[in-house]
Amino acid sequence: MRYSSLNRFTIKVQSLKFNVHPGSTETKFKVSNSSFNHSPILLFKHFTVHSFFHRTIIPLLLFLIFSINTTRADEGMWVPLFLKQINEKSLIERGLKIPVEKIYSDTGTSLKDAVVLFGGGCTGEMISDQGLLLTNHHCGYSTIQSHSTVENDYLTHGYWAMNAEQELPCPGLTVTFIIRMEDISGLIFRELNDSMSEAERETKIKTVSDVFINKATEGTHYDASVRSFFNGNQFILFVTEKFKDIRLVGAPPSSIGNFGGDTDNWMWPRHTGDFSLFRIYSGKDNKPAEFSKENIPFKPRHFFTISLKGVSENDFTMVYGFPGRTQKYLSSHAVNLIQNTIDPGRIQIRQQRISLMEQGMKISDTVRIKYSSKQKGLSNAYKKWQGEVAGLKRLKTVDKKREMESLYMEKMIASGRPDLAQLIEMLDSSYTAAKIYLSASDYYNEAAMGIEVLAFANGFRKLSAMSAKSPEDKNAWNDEIEKLKKSADGFFKNYDSRVDEKVFSALLNLYLDNVDQRFLPVQFLKDVQNNKVGVEKLRQQIFTSSMFASEKKLNEWLSAARPGQTNRILQDPAYKLASAITGAHQQKVSGELSKLNERINILNRQYLDALLMIPSSKNFYPDANSTLRVAYGQVMGYAPRDAVKYDFKTSLDGVMEKEDDSNEEFIVPEKLKELYQKKDFGRYGVNQTMPVGFIASNHTTGGNSGSPVINAYGQLIGTNFDRVWEGTMSDLDFDPDQCRNITLDIRYTLFIIDKFAGCKRLIDEMSFAE
């Protein structure tokens, strides 16, 4: 039965009845006397695309019967488009007090209209009708750093725009809204067939997607994209609106916004005031516009009302944002590889990079400011990977997945599908083959290209290649030179060769010691082994003579360079080393890894496709892929280990308990101490205490930083900024007893803005529910 031949059909299996309308995004079905709604595209992909009705529909119906009432609200990052069909009953049971349509709607305003993708990897929320935007301090960190100098150190001292004229433009920063979403899976799948190669499949998917993208954006200022879900088993169109005139409005000092530093990162209890404020500006027509002094504050379609009531244990909470990446459906072999090879290798490299970078940052305040954002980014993942490994081992995730895979293979064989049973063995062999290439790739990216001068020099490979073309394209050459000039400005703004030199020898030696010799540049390897060009000799050559380590030398060359004149690049020691390493990597690693990854991706798609046919006690949700999602759960503490139990909330009392003037991570500003001693908390305090943070069971990951945390009435109660360390394995395996998201209580944010910064004009913009 083909999808395109269907008009309407009804299927009865005992007491189960389905009514399916092709092209619809909703299927109505009944089990006994209960009604549910579900997207048909995913559930009926098999029999609408393939003719093997008998092998799929019965298991799918069983899967639905077993799973529909047993989904845990805590686990899952749900696509808002399907909340009505999939999650409405669970949301109401958990305590939601507003209609689900108020969370997501294509036709009317909803909470989704107040949620934005901030930059390229965080979330933000609108908190006024004048374009005021709230996100995390660490999300705005690089922007705050870009405005900071030794004279005006906004990272250390904070920044508050006391009027509109003081709001600082942030070139390159963007904010993106979701206008609408549409499931186009059925219309894509009817153009696909099993005889297609992977390349043909991807081409066809792109061709069909482009039709929808063009139709969705024609005559508008919107953008659109089609994103893949469930490893290529579902496709959703996203129509978006991107704003480019974003201005910094306020940021607390690092002693508040980064209180606890690396020591407290990923930990609970937490006392960090992790927030910053920006404003979106638009043209006078309220549409996106390039920066201009004539632009006006943007009027959002919706903004959050802020609740001052606070939270109690077991309260309903919801996180609305753009989670970056999870890998829930990996095989046991893949998780084993992450746990015992990939993460340990990355941890080893990051440990060296961070330690040496921190030593270099002590040279001066100028260097500290240059490297503060880099160091923070490196440390964040470093500590997360450590928690991930510990969590996977504690949960015995690899063993659990092996048990599930054994069950899967038994069921596939019993159902007459030994070909699907073989997917596990095929995945295992593919990951085994890929292991050495994956490790080499990590050491290339993290170690070799972790040396900044080499990574920067690598960016000139295109210019070098252009000189070999005949005849020379002068316009292309000049365009590339201009791009490289801008790149150089950005690079040297946050670069110090003395720091990079400290890192160079350690990382290059790590690369040489841990990458299979077959993947290294042959001549370079021979020279090192013969001591003709040792690592220390290379370090001296590069940091004394390479123009890529000197802003003055490079700018002089860029200003004088003419088409075809690349000998200076080709003879530069940093470029020669970077080019040799990259060339060997591309020739010996990238190609093979690309082939293996393509095979793994196909197998993972087929495996997940088959998993959907097995009756399960859990529902399936798509892995995070930086698209808009909803997670929901309850405010609650947790017990990380024997005889230890954490409360769900923290207060300013804990800040004072942690105060340590001898440790820059735990310095408390004098004004904050004064406010605390006077108990001058304004309307934000409760019973002579000032709430700071709380934890809940929402399923979050990177990208959820800055996400609004919302109560049952759709009101803002906080800003998500982290997970607890014991739950960082949640990208791969969710433990409802240990996984908690950490939220900055909105009352602490308001207290800092109002009482600490004295920026009452921002408070006056907001709307409150007492």
What is the per-residue DSSP string for 337-405? HIIIIIHHHHHHHHHHHHHHHHHHHTT-HHHHHHHHHHHHHHHHHHHHHHHHHHHHHHHTHHHHHHHHH
Q: Is the pLDDT of residue 389 over 70?
A: yes
Coil vs helix vs strand at 705: coil
Tell me whether residue 311 is in a domain: no
Residue 600 maps to a domain: yes
The average pLDDT across 719-737 equals 96
Task: List residues with catalytic annotation.
Answer: 138, 274, 705
Find the domain containing 493 and state its range. Answer: 332-610
Instruction: Identify whether residues 140 and 289 lie together within a single domain.
Output: yes
Check if the beta carbon of residue 205 is closer than 8 Å to that of residue 177: no
State the DSSP code for 740. Answer: -
Nearest to 187 by CA among 40, 324, 30: 40
Residues 296 and 337 in one domain: no
Average pLDDT over residues 6-12: 31
Residue 263, exposed/middle/buried by CB under 10 A (0-12, 13-18, 19+)? Answer: exposed
Residue 93: count other Cβ atoms within 10 Å of its Cβ. 11
| In-domain check, residue 314 | no
- Helix 365-395 / helix 497-514 crossing angle, nearest 10 deg: 30
Q: Does 353 lie in the same domain as 299? A: no
200: number of Cβ within 10 Å: 12
pLDDT, mean of residues 248-274: 97
Same domain? For 586 and 635 the reply is no
pLDDT for residue 54 is more than 60: no
User: What's residue 305's pLDDT?
Assistant: 98
Predicted local confidence at residue 617, as pLDDT: 53
In this structure, are 652 and 596 located in the same domain?
no
Residue 695's CATH number:
2.40.10
Answer yes or no: are the C-beta atoms of 110 and 120 closer than 8 Å.
no
- The residues, ordered by sequence, that sit 6+ positions from 143 with a Cβ below 8 Å of its Cβ are 170, 173, 248, 278
| Predicted confidence (pLDDT) at residue 7 exceeds the cutoff of 80 | no
- Angle (nearest 5°) at CA 7 between 6 and 10: 85
pTM over 0.95, yes/no: no
CA neighbor of 381 nearest in space, from 265, 478, 247: 265
Residue type, 62: L
At residue 465, the pLDDT reads: 85
Q: Is 308 within 8 Å of 684 (Cβ atoms)?
A: yes
Burial of 758 by CB count in 10 Å (0-12 exposed, 13-18 middle, 19+ buried)? exposed
- Residues with Cβ within 8 Å of residue 210, at least 6 apart in sequence: none
| Alpha-carbon gap, residue 177 to 627, rounded angstroms | 11
The whole-number pLDDT of residue 24 equals 37
Q: Give the residue among 65, 79, 107 at the shortest CA–CA distance from 183.
A: 79
Q: How far is CA 251 from the centre of its chain?
A: 22
Check: CB of residue 39 under 8 Å from CB of residue 85.
yes
CA gap 184, 383 in Å, rounded: 39
β 716-723/741-745 pair status = antiparallel
- Contact by Cβ (8 Å): 660, 666: yes
* Cα–Cα dist 245/283, whole Å: 9
Distance, first Cα to last Cα, the chain = 58
Asked if 13 and 56 sit in the same domain, the reply is: yes
d(CA 611, CA 70): 17
The per-residue b/e assignment along 206-237, b for 16 or more CB within 10 angstroms, e otherwise, is: eebbeebbeebeeeeebbbebbbbbbbbbbbb
Residue that wins the pLDDT comparison between 70 and 319: 319
Residue 754 in any domain: the answer is yes
pLDDT computed for residue 638 by the predictor: 97
The answer to whether position 384 is within a domain reads yes
Q: According to the model, what pLDDT value does residue 62 have? A: 35
Window from 459-463, 611-615, 692-696 with minimum mean pLDDT: 611-615
> Does the pLDDT value for residue 32 go beyond 60?
no
165 domain-assigned: yes
Please tell me whether the peptide bond between 269 and the residue prior to it is cis, using omega within 30 degrees of 0: yes
Distance of CA 325 to the CA centre of its chain: 6
pLDDT in tens, 118-174: 998 999 999 999 999 999 999 999 999 999 999 999 999 999 999 999 999 999 999
Note whether 600 and 662 are same-domain residues. no
- Asked if 61 and 38 touch (Cβ cutoff 8 Å), the reply is no
Q: Are strands 768-769 and 306-307 parallel, antiparallel or unpaired?
A: parallel
- Among 493, 496, 497, residue whose Cα is nearest residue 485: 493
Neighbours of 555 (CB within 10 A): 15
Q: What is the DSSP letter of 752?
A: I
Same domain assignment for residues 426 and 525: yes
CA-based diameter of the chain, in Å? 81
Cα dihedral 473→475→480→485 (10° resolution): 140
Q: Grade residue 626 by pLDDT with cuts at 50, 70 and 90.
A: very high
Q: How many domains does the chain have?
A: 4
**What's the whole-number average pLDDT of the chain?**
89
**Taking residues 617-622, what's their average pLDDT?**
76
Say if residue 437 is in the same domain as residue 579: yes
Integer Cα distance of 31 and 12 in angstroms: 10
Does residue 123 share a domain with residue 192?
yes
pLDDT category of residue 529 using cuts at 50, 70 and 90? low
Q: Give 498's strand partners.
A: none
pLDDT over 60 at 749, yes or no: yes
d(CA 171, CA 290): 10
As beta bridge partners, residue 297 has 281
CA distances from 535 to 169, 214, 421, 542 (A): 43, 53, 50, 11
**Which pLDDT tens digit goes with each residue over 442-487?**
999 999 999 999 999 999 999 888 877 666 778 888 999 999 999 9
- Residue 50 pLDDT greater than 60, yes or no: no
Q: What percent of the chain has pLDDT over 70?
A: 88
pLDDT on residue 194: 86
Determine the Cα–Cα distance for residues 146 and 459; give it in Å rounded to an integer: 22
Do 294 and 408 belong together in one domain? no
The reply to whether 321 falls in a domain is no
| Listed residue (237, 225, 222) closest to 187, CA to CA | 237
65 confidence band (pLDDT: 50, 70, 90): very low
pLDDT at 616: 60
124 shares its domain with 184: yes
Task: Please say which residue of 48, 69, 90 terminates a domain.
Answer: 69
Q: Does 595 fall in a domain?
A: yes
Cα distances from 80 to residues 112, 453, 469, in angstroms, run 8, 43, 50
- Which residues lie below 8 Å from residue 104, measured CB to CB, with a gap of 6+? 80, 81, 83, 110, 111, 112, 630
